[in-house]
Amino acid sequence: MLRGGKPVERARMSDIALERIREAIVTGELAPGSKIKDSELAEYLGLSRTPVREALARLVDTGLVEAKPGAYTRITTLDRGDVEATLAVIEALDQLAVVTAVPNLTDEMIGAMRSANKDFAAAVKRNDIGRALTADDRLHSVIIDAAANPLLKKLIHQVHPQIHRIYYRKFSSLLGSQDSVDHHNKLIALCADHDAEAAATLSAEHRRHLGGLIGELFDADEFALSD
């Protein structure tokens, strides 16, 4: 039998801690390889240790944090093999989302995608990383929502932060160009034409293109621990 509201409140605090720690990892405020203590994070976030510990455990499951009991808890390093594996998963999930979503897209949804890309282009021009990634997420969220697959949505949201922290650290090399704006325009056009297969193929090609650029950055040692 359910009792009271305290468990709900605790879960909410855990969600808040999760979101704020995840954002700090993506933006690099918590750098790859850096060791963390739940007591210090709790003090910094103004929360108790319990929701912070719960959030860290959830972040271990997503691969953003790694822990060795009795030894350390640290931010996962940017390992090339792990990044390539994550990119392969995202490519497959994106294709499934696009193929499933396109038949469900309405004119209003297409308009929302165009609006998001307009904001993305403006943010790219200003080199505003945070707003650019937010706009990019808005655009792709339209597709994810239209796919109407809760498990697919959960999986995509789980793996995206691992790639976002690379985008954030090397934005100008990866997303900070007209190429990404043009890709969005082509994707939107195919979605508006309800050409699901072509849209999915384009999405996969773009993911592979970004993967190639990320590979070049690893070759150039651009993701060194001290970066």
Please report which confidence band the pLDDT of residue 5 belongs to, taking 50, 70 and 90 as the band edges.
very low
| Beta strand ranges found along the chain (DSSP E) | 65-68, 72-75
pLDDT the model gives residue 224: 61
Higher-pLDDT residue of 203, 158:
203
User: What's the rounded Cα separation, in Å, for the pair 205 and 184?
Assistant: 12
pLDDT tens profile 156-171: 988 888 888 888 888 8
User: What's the rounded Cα separation, in Å, for the pair 119 and 101?
Assistant: 22
Relative to beta strand 72-75, strand 65-68 is antiparallel
Cβ 21 vs Cβ 41: under 8 Å: yes
The reported pTM is 0.84
Higher-pLDDT residue of 101, 226:
101
Residue 78: DSSP 8-state: -
User: What's the rounded Cα separation, in Å, for the pair 17 and 29?
Assistant: 15
Residue 67: DSSP 8-state: E
Among 145, 139, 141, 107, which Cα is nearest to 123's? 139
Question: How long a stretch of residues is the chain?
Answer: 227
pLDDT the model gives residue 21: 93
Burial tier of 203 (Cβ tally within 10 Å: 0-12, 13-18, 19+): buried
Cβ 94 vs Cβ 83: under 8 Å: no
pLDDT tens profile 141-153: 999 999 999 999 9
Across the chain, mean pLDDT equals 89
With tokens 């989302």, the residue in question is 97
User: What's the rounded Cα separation, in Å, for the pair 29 and 227?
Assistant: 12
With tokens 């890309």, the residue in question is 117
